[in-house]
Structure 1
Amino acid sequence: MAKLYLVGTYDTKAEELTYLAAILRRGAMHVVTVDLSAQSFGPEADISAHDVAAFHPKGANHVLGGTDRGHAVASMGEAFGIFCSARQNDIAAIIGIGGGGGTAMICEGLRALPYGVPKLMVSTLASGDMAPYVGTSDTIVIPSVTDLAGLNRLSRNILHNAAQAILGMVASPYVRPIAEKPSIGLSMFGVTTPCVTQITAALNQDYDCVVFHATGTGGRTLESLTDSGYLTGVLDMTLTEIADEVVGGVLRAGPDRLGAAARAQQPWVGSLGALDMVNFWAPDTVPDQFSNRLFYNHNANVTLMRTTAVESVEIANWIAKKLNACRGPIRLLIPEGGVSALDTPEGPFWNPDANAALFDTLHSRVKQTAKRQIIRSPHHINDAAFSALAVQTFQYLIEDR
């Protein structure tokens, strides 16, 4: 039977880990304690730091016994990631506690576990930017509020609640239906919501439509699930993360965006949603180099900048290079009526010259073949007719395959 794993550094967090273990064991769950002490050894856990370190490709001695804490933490994190991947069938759920180093090591293991396995991290870093630690995983993060340096009235309360949360997940696990529809991935932004909503309404009867918010993490997750084979196909209607990648916005999904489309060789239908904009946070965060540009305040914390014709050419070249590497069935749909809710004749981002630069560069740079084709449509991306074209095109690729 799979077990509940409790993870932390016993050399510095033994009191908190012992307290947590007692609560978890009262929950009638088989608890396995794991020590990630990277430089010194604390009280004995069920699985010692040496046992975990032995999973490192260069062996336990590479991880333990050195004087460089940064090296020890990074190496132990790598070892724990391999450990979790190897033991994933034995892990019903996992909870970890840690400060800076502990959070980094434990989260590397949590990211290695499949989606759906309950993962909970109590961290002193939780009030800050956790994106580097959580990545694209479904890890739940709870702020420790106090430092994890011994138990006190507040930390006992927070750790108790964390224990009850993970026990609740284990006690009532999600049960997958016996018969499931195949899953397809879609990318969406607020300004392309009508497009994707219409597509999902048309395909929902036959497919499990998994929609990703194109905020960087969403794009990376879409790529990851495509690589894993979880998705039967993709309707990648919103590529705004690529505009941020090329121009320097804050919602970048990384240089591998569209890479999975080439590797998976599954049906892929894409469009140019929200490529009229680059995303920044509040107005005072916009770099000075863009001070004379056209902006739209989406809300108090999000500022959108209209892409220029020159930037549109750069974005188109970036996309074309990625699509030219694809050997599977590919269709790129160009909505000549506009690429976002702001890109209409009455909208603040209407710029026919920038759009023409984007559309024409893609048409000339994408090497069309029997499998890789561009389809130009006179409609706006949010028009019902454009969504119907995307659905029809996707269904054709699926049936043809």
Structure 2
Amino acid sequence: MTKTILVIGTFDTKADELDYLIGRIKAQGGAVLAMDVSILGEAKVPVDVTKHEVAAAAGETIAGLIALGEEGEAFERMSTGAAALTRRLHAEGRFDGMIALGGTMGTDLALDCAQALPLGVPKYIVSTVAGSPLIAPDRMAADVQFILWAGGLYGLNPLCRSSLSQAAGAVLGAAQAVEPPAFDRPLIGMTSLGSSCLKYMKRLHPELTRRGYDIAVFHTTGMGGMAFERLALAGHFACVMDFSVQEFVNAEGGSLVSAGADRLTGAGRSGTPQMVAPGAADILDLAGWQEMPDRFRDRPCHVHNRLIKSVAFTPDERRALAVAMAERLAGAKGPTHVFLPAGGIEEWDRPGEAAHDPEGLAGFIAAAEAALRGRVDLTVLDCHINDAAFCDAVLARLDAWVAAGIVPPGKAAA
């Protein structure tokens, strides 16, 4: 079946480049739905979605946007219209993958369009600022792909053609090869931080599979948590097991390694039954190249690799984090059960290990218990989060929820 690619760009100033990209997609057997998001000029090649339709989707007119006299504000409103149309056209089955082309303006708009699409829909942005720190992590769709538009700021040239031809192959190939999520069996969303720091998934995964569930484990290093939260908010999970909250404490501590401001809210807002534990809430992970925040400068720093370095929180900071976490969870609309493992919350939080801090952990658990008691269901466990006893408690809670009709029972594999 022929796959159709939505091509987004300013067809007044970048018509040659967009026309070349479209030509490469069609030469490989793909079809194209072209969306013009320019404001001042007219499209120099035929398009399927005009700039006037894009503006109208945002409740605007092109004349009104020009009258604003502010390029940034005008293009931001066009972004609203482009994202709305992208969402609607995909819901109507009009295209199978998205690709957008631009500099900073076009990339800004493309980020909104990519976020408008579900996880699993191929989405590519060919950008002069691909990989740049200008792009905030919370602007990126969880599965968006960036391709650097090398030498492509103005006009076609051999470098530009190389980038665009690769992009054409990438988006069409992805649309042809993708296996969209089927959700044939109830899906459990779980978070973890690798398998050496947090090991519970090794015990839980086979037991949950045996019960008839699919399990998706998300790596809590920023983008993983972002994808997890969006799927939880959309109601894709039968149950959430959010046992690694490091992205939340990272955001509270000023780290760039976060999943944005909405961490620990998706399941609560959608009413999805959730179990939560404070896995790895004792350490702050920073980007390897990020300058150390002033309040952490005098603390020992562990450089995990060139991408990540870590410092420890003080007991006072940990108590404040417990209260902040409790406030997020207390607003949940659905069943919420918090497990507090008093024996440790990550593998290096054991006697003799570098992050073992009994005073800090005791203060965290006391503060969390005080803030949560009477607001959500709560269990303090006399074990480490990586112990079998933790997994036994989680499975017992799941079985009780299934028996009560709170979580759907699993299904045998097809």
Q: Check whether TM > 0.5.
A: yes
8 Å contact kept, 2:122–2:174: yes
Alignment of 1:222 with 2:204, yes or no, is no
- Give deviations 1:172-198, integer Å, cap 9, x for gaps: 342666x72111111111354311232
CA distance in 1, matches of 2:283, 2:324: 16
CA distance in 2, matches of 1:135, 1:309: 34
Matched residue, 1:43: 44
CA distance in 2, matches of 1:284, 1:212: 23
For 1:373, which of 369, 373, 377 is the aligned residue?
377
Matched residue, 2:34: 33
Higher deviation after alignment, 2-11 or 109-118: 2-11
Give the superposition deviation at 1:339: 0.6
Unaligned runs of 5+ in 2: 407-414
For 1:99, which of 75, 97, 103 is the aligned residue?
103
8 Å contact kept, 1:247–1:311: no
- Change over 3 Å in CA distance of 1:245–1:147 after alignment to 2: same
Specify the code of the residue in structure 2 equivalent to 1:232: A
Give the superposition deviation at 1:208: 1.5
- Give deviations 1:126-152, integer Å, cap 9, x for gaps: 131344485233221111121331111
- Change over 3 Å in CA distance of 1:34–1:261 after alignment to 2: closer
Matched residue, 1:90: 94
For 2:114, which of 110, 115, 124 is the aligned residue?
110
Give the secondary structure class of the aligned counterpart of 1:285: coil
- Taking every aligned residue pair, what percent have the same amino acid on both sides? 28
Give the secondary structure class of the aligned counterpart of 1:108: helix
Give the superposition deviation at 1:64: 4.1
Give the secondary structure class of the aligned counterpart of 1:138: coil
Give the superposition deviation at 1:254: 3.3
For 2:161, which of 136, 156, 159 is the aligned residue?
156
Alignment of 1:198 with 2:203, yes or no, is yes
Give the secondary structure class of the aligned counterpart of 2:250: helix
- Change over 3 Å in CA distance of 1:154–1:196 after alignment to 2: same
Higher deviation after alignment, 123-132 or 141-150: 123-132
CA distance in 1, matches of 2:290, 2:30: 50
Give the secondary structure class of the aligned counterpart of 1:170: helix
Alignment of 1:355 with 2:361, yes or no, is yes
**RMSD (CA atoms):** 2.2
Specify the code of the residue in structure 1 equivalent to 2:105: G
8 Å contact kept, 2:198–2:385: no
For 2:72, which of 61, 70, 73 is the aligned residue?
70
Give the secondary structure class of the aligned counterpart of 2:130: coil
Give the superposition deviation at 1:41: 2.3
Instruction: Give the paired residue count.
Output: 398
- Change over 3 Å in CA distance of 1:12–1:133 after alignment to 2: farther
CA distance in 2, matches of 1:383, 1:9: 56
8 Å contact kept, 1:250–1:280: yes
- Change over 3 Å in CA distance of 1:336–1:355 after alignment to 2: same
8 Å contact kept, 2:3–2:175: no
- Change over 3 Å in CA distance of 1:375–1:230 after alignment to 2: same
Give the secondary structure class of the aligned counterpart of 1:12: coil
Q: TM-score, length-normalised on structure 2?
A: 0.89
Matched residue, 2:18: 17
- Change over 3 Å in CA distance of 1:398–1:52 after alignment to 2: same
Give the superposition deviation at 1:262: 2.4
CA distance in 1, matches of 2:18, 2:97: 16
Give the secondary structure class of the aligned counterpart of 2:96: strand
Specify the code of the residue in structure 1 equivalent to 2:260: G
Give the superposition deviation at 1:245: 2.5
4+ runs deviating over 6 angstroms: none
Alignment of 1:262 with 2:268, yes or no, is yes
Alignment of 1:286 with 2:292, yes or no, is yes
Give the superposition deviation at 1:236: 0.4
- Change over 3 Å in CA distance of 1:195–1:140 after alignment to 2: same
Higher deviation after alignment, 287-296 or 8-17: 287-296
CA distance in 1, matches of 2:5, 2:26: 9
CA distance in 2, matches of 1:342, 1:73: 49
- Give deviations 1:303-356, integer Å, cap 9, x for gaps: 211111101111111122122222422111111111111111111111111101
Matched residue, 2:403: 399
Higher deviation after alignment, 375-384 or 125-134: 125-134
8 Å contact kept, 1:37–1:49: yes
- Give deviations 1:95-138, integer Å, cap 9, x for gaps: 11111111111221121011222211111111313444852332
Residues 99-178 of structure 1 correspond to what in structure 2 (within 5 A)? Answer: 99-129=103-133, 130-132=135-137, 135-174=140-179
Specify the code of the residue in structure 2 equivalent to 1:54: A
Give the secondary structure class of the aligned counterpart of 1:95: strand
Give the superposition deviation at 1:293: 1.9
Higher deviation after alignment, 336-345 or 391-400: 391-400
- Give deviations 1:234-253, integer Å, cap 9, x for gaps: 00001112222323223233
8 Å contact kept, 1:36–1:48: yes
Give the secondary structure class of the aligned counterpart of 1:376: strand
- Give deviations 1:51-80, integer Å, cap 9, x for gaps: 211111344444345432111221111110
For 1:79, which of 73, 77, 81 is the aligned residue?
81
8 Å contact kept, 1:7–1:97: yes
8 Å contact kept, 2:271–2:334: yes
CA distance in 2, matches of 1:246, 1:167: 40
CA distance in 1, matches of 2:256, 2:30: 43
- Change over 3 Å in CA distance of 1:324–1:173 after alignment to 2: closer
